[in-house]
Structure 1
Amino acid sequence: MTDPQVALLMLAVFIVLVFLGFPIAFTLMALGMFMGYYAYFEPNRMWREYLRLEDADWWTSATSWLDGLLNSRIFDLFVNQTYTVMSNEVLTAVPLFLFMGYIVERANIVDRLFSTLNVAAKNVPGSMGVAALITCMLFATATGIVGAVVTLMGLLALPAMLKVRYNTSFASGIICAGGTLGILIPPSIMLIVYAASSGVSIVRLYAGALLPGLVLVGLYITYVVGRSILQPSAAPKPTKEEVPDISLPRLLLMLATSFLPLAFLILAVLGSILFGLATPTEAAAVGALGGMLLAVIYRAMTFQRLRESVYLTVRTTAMVCWLFVGSYVFSSVFSYLGGEQLISQFVEGLDLTPLQFLLLAQLIIFLLGWPLEWSEIIIIFVPIFLPLLPMFGIDPLFFGILVALNLQTSFLTPPMAMSAYYLKGIAPPEVQLTQIFKGVLPFLFMVFLAMALIYNFNELVFYLPQVFYGR
């Protein structure tokens, strides 16, 4: 068996082990170490060492031979890659943004925000759905944690919508789709991970993702409003008893105490990054401090909540970092064995156009989204496509934004739509999983429409990076 065939076997074994339920990070490290030992193994050197010491005593010969057996370059590679990941300045922003999200999640801001937006938008068709989407957008942007957003909004907004006679599937789809927006809209943790994997500037990624994110939110809101107009029974207009009239001064006060603080925090963090006032890590640190201040102002900061936030931050950060370590070791060995070159030759032999390659790559990522989390796709599989991009003249910035859009589908595509399972876990008993699946499908089509718009109007991605940072 040739080395490239061993590399393909290595990839096949990894996929099988993942489907069997083995921990992905440790599976990557184990396979990388095992196959790396094979790749870097030097039997001739061991034999020469044995012959050189054949006249020595048996203990010296045995220990020297054992040292040659264990002295493989794969161990140096593992140590170096671990150090590289842990000292990566881009990844330093991950725990800080995570901490900001977990603190904001526990600051009791979202219930105030949803109530205020619900009152402010009451004359808009599907007002409660629009309020839920905008709340999800802001909350998802602040946290970037899909499960947290869907769960909290499911507890807060779903019962409220069902109470005013919203269609169950329609209401469920709004919550599930809105909860995934933090993957794309800056300051997105996913984009930080992609930047670390691809070498693309994180500030350019943030600038490039802003307009596509707003396009997707606009499509979601357009669908909600349009369906509410065409099918009023799906989203009945709330009565005055359900959403009372309030005076303009009181509404402005509600906005000032609920919407503006969170919006200001997000805009301050994002604006400082885009305008070059702070690095992503510095902005994330300020955002974490701002989240703590908001929690104190809203009288939601307790030692228990602080401890939970720190624990969840450390756990999630450790998962991401060890995934990077495993992926780097695995991909290094895979490339050394010739697997990357074999894939490049295979794709080149297909004689694909850039559009066909993009469709193929996005289809593979779409299918990978069923069994895998976004972090595993970005860290493990996206680097396989990155070396192929120059072959087709595709900008890695553009590719990254398409991937971020595509990963929305990994949470919305039945039967493995994780956002649907998050919602089902906290929804009232009468809400069926099939109803949630039915509700997310129209939003899934909105994601595909957004991807088509981005491909046909590339300036949606490139305009802001060019304005802020030039070509």
Structure 2
Amino acid sequence: MSDPHIALLMLGAFIFIILLGFPIAFTLMAMGVGFGYYAYYDAGRMWRPYYRALDSGADSWTLVETWVSGFFNNRIFDLFVNQTYSVMANDVLTAVPLFLFMGYIVERANIVERLFHTLALATRRVPGAMAVAALVTCTLFATATGIVGAVVTLMGLLAFPALLRARYDISFASGVICAGGTLGILIPPSIMLIVYAASSGVSIVQLYAGALLPGLLLAGLYLIYVIGRAWLQPQLAPKPDESEVEQISTGRLLFLLATSFLPLALLILSVLGAILFGLATPSEAAAVGALGGLALAVAYRALTWQRLRESVYLTVRTTAMVCWLFVGSWTFSSVFSYLGGERVITEFVTSLDISPLTFLILAQIIIFLLGWPLEWSEIIIIFVPIFLPLLPHFGVDPLFFGILVALNLQTSFLTPPMAMSAYYLKGIAPAHVHLVQIFKGCLPYLMLVFVAMIVLYIFPDIALYLPRLVYGR
């Protein structure tokens, strides 16, 4: 069996093992070190210390000790150590824990409940007002955190019961929460885009500029759908009786907006604006955002030692997961490429003589299917780099490809039977809410994601206009 065949066996074995449920990061590291030991095996490096020990007349203990040192005298261990250091010293990834901390501290600052209540009052005359308020709240909160599970869970605890009390259809209300909660991995400042930038070498600043309009496009499509369906089928989102509508003056409403919507919006816009206009690096802007999150928590009198400790713990845990995924992925991909696996895939795809459109469709279908068993982080870190060497051959801009992937990965949280957003919501929903009803509510938004991807391909300037305008890309 040749080295390229070993590489393909390595990839197949990895997919099989993770489908069995083994931890992704440790599987990657074990596979990388295991197959890497074969790839970098050098008999001279392995056995020469062993024979020196025999020649010198060493006792058995010294002999075993020397053999063990020879056993570890393989370049895969040097590669593993170097990859670990490279990941931990990566300047782009420095922004990850800071943005995560900003999101976790905002989550615990009681801002979201106040924001949802205020937006529900502000949109009370719009069809499906509470659903619109929930969707806008999800979008803002998801943008601030970038953590889908946290957004869906918290909004499921705050907004979902309110929607059910207002006699909203269960599937209609479920879809709003699940779809709105996923927007944070697309709209900047997004953790997913940082991870893609580190994997692809594309500027994170240009990725943020490119993702802004597509993210707003998708959020706009969601809003149009919610308002349009509530208008066409008012039984899905019945208007409240006059006695149920809280009467509030315009001045009081403006005050509530100024103390709930405005602070969070300003925090997000200031962080994003500092990055896009070159006033700060992503890491510097993330640090300011984390400080701003702390300031908001203090202003809302929600900062306690317990909440601060929880935020730090969750930040460290999630950051460790991302970093060790990178360590395992880069070790795995280095061995895979060294054995010739990457070259085999590249030669196979280029030999098919397909058009750029066909390549993009095939790539997005593969990523869509991978979204069923895998999280977005594994897809971006492990599988997207396989497509990156093919982009120059088909003339595809890696920035444009990254935005398409970010849009596509919305589907991994919305596609039954592995729609993670649905499971997050089901975990905290009342007992009478069934998983099938949540799946049903997610499907229209899944179609809207496909619509957004088609629109983006037909009009690529939606993603490329801002990077070209601001950075001359």
Matching residue's letter, 1:289: L
Q: Structure 1 pair 162/10, CA: closer, same or farther in 2 (3 Å)?
A: same
Q: In the alignment, what sits opposite 1:96?
A: 98
Work out the CA distance in 1 between the residues paired with 2:50 and 2:428. Answer: 65
Matching residue's letter, 1:30: A
RMSD over equivalenced CA pairs, Å: 1.4
**Structure 2: gaps of 5 or more residues:** none
Verify: 1:34 aligned to 2:7, yes or no. no
Q: Structure 1 pair 263/34, CA: closer, same or farther in 2 (3 Å)?
A: same
Matching residue's letter, 2:11: L
Show CA shifts across 1:324-362 (max 9, x none): 000010000000000000100111111111111111111
Show CA shifts across 1:79-114 (max 9, x none): 100000000010000000000000000000011111
Verify: 1:24 aligned to 2:61, yes or no. no
CA shift for structure 1 position 68: 3.4
CA shift for structure 1 position 126: 1.1
Of the candidates 332, 335, 347, which is equivalent to residue 333 of structure 1?
335
Matching residue's letter, 1:264: L
The answer on whether the counterparts of 2:46 and 2:73 sit within 8 Å (CA) in structure 1 is no
Q: Structure 1 pair 63/166, CA: closer, same or farther in 2 (3 Å)?
A: closer
Work out the CA distance in 2 between the residues paired with 1:324 and 1:52. Answer: 39
Q: In the alignment, what sits opposite 1:422?
A: 424
Verify: 1:105 aligned to 2:107, yes or no. yes
CA shift for structure 1 position 128: 1.0
CA shift for structure 1 position 54: 6.4
Q: In the alignment, what sits opposite 2:454?
A: 452
CA shift for structure 1 position 220: 0.3
Show CA shifts across 1:126-176 (max 9, x none): 111111111000000000010111011111111111111111100000000
Verify: 1:14 aligned to 2:14, yes or no. yes
Q: In the alignment, what sits opposite 2:2?
A: 2
* Worse-superposed segment, 9-18 or 63-72: 63-72
TM-score by length of 1: 0.98
- Written as runs of structure 1 = structure 2, the 5 A alignment for 1:27-176 is 27-46=27-46, 55-59=55-59, 66-176=68-178
* Worse-superposed segment, 232-241 or 53-62: 53-62
**Structure 1: gaps of 5 or more residues:** none
Q: In the alignment, what sits opposite 1:286?
A: 288
Q: Structure 1 pair 255/51, CA: closer, same or farther in 2 (3 Å)?
A: closer
CA shift for structure 1 position 394: 0.4
SS at match of 1:226: helix
Work out the CA distance in 1 between the residues paired with 2:74 and 2:98. Answer: 37
CA shift for structure 1 position 56: 3.4
Work out the CA distance in 2 between the residues paired with 1:12 and 1:340. Answer: 13
CA shift for structure 1 position 70: 2.1
Matching residue's letter, 1:102: Y
The answer on whether the counterparts of 2:45 and 2:73 sit within 8 Å (CA) in structure 1 is no
Work out the CA distance in 2 between the residues paired with 1:425 and 1:63. Answer: 53
Work out the CA distance in 2 between the residues paired with 1:222 and 1:347. Answer: 39
- Written as runs of structure 1 = structure 2, the 5 A alignment for 1:292-303 is 292-303=294-305
CA shift for structure 1 position 52: 7.0
Between the aligned residues of both structures, percent identity stands at 75
CA shift for structure 1 position 412: 0.1
CA shift for structure 1 position 124: 1.0
CA shift for structure 1 position 250: 0.7
Matching residue's letter, 2:37: Y
Work out the CA distance in 2 between the residues paired with 1:45 and 1:114. Answer: 65
Q: In the alignment, what sits opposite 1:202?
A: 204
Work out the CA distance in 1 between the residues paired with 2:259 and 2:241. Answer: 25
Work out the CA distance in 2 between the residues paired with 1:308 and 1:122. Answer: 35
SS at match of 1:92: helix
Work out the CA distance in 2 between the residues paired with 1:90 and 1:78. Answer: 20
Matching residue's letter, 1:389: L
Q: In the alignment, what sits opposite 1:368?
A: 370
Q: Structure 1 pair 420/69, CA: closer, same or farther in 2 (3 Å)?
A: same
Of the candidates 461, 464, 468, which is equivalent to residue 462 of structure 1?
464
Work out the CA distance in 1 between the residues paired with 2:250 and 2:51. Answer: 92
Matching residue's letter, 2:23: P
CA shift for structure 1 position 240: 2.8
Number of residue pairs the alignment of both structures matches: 471
Q: In the alignment, what sits opposite 1:257?
A: 259
Q: In the alignment, what sits opposite 2:245?
A: 243
Work out the CA distance in 1 between the residues paired with 2:320 and 2:65. Answer: 37
SS at match of 2:292: helix
CA shift for structure 1 position 418: 0.4
The answer on whether the counterparts of 1:164 and 1:242 sit within 8 Å (CA) in structure 2 is no
Work out the CA distance in 2 between the residues paired with 1:274 and 1:448. Answer: 27
The answer on whether the counterparts of 1:170 and 1:234 sit within 8 Å (CA) in structure 2 is yes
TM-score by length of 2: 0.97
Of the candidates 346, 349, 374, which is equivalent to residue 348 of structure 2?
346
The answer on whether the counterparts of 1:162 and 1:171 sit within 8 Å (CA) in structure 2 is yes
Q: In the alignment, what sits opposite 1:273?
A: 275
The answer on whether the counterparts of 1:154 and 1:175 sit within 8 Å (CA) in structure 2 is yes
The answer on whether the counterparts of 2:189 and 2:272 sit within 8 Å (CA) in structure 1 is yes
Work out the CA distance in 2 between the residues paired with 1:410 and 1:382. Answer: 15
SS at match of 1:421: helix
The answer on whether the counterparts of 1:93 and 1:281 sit within 8 Å (CA) in structure 2 is yes
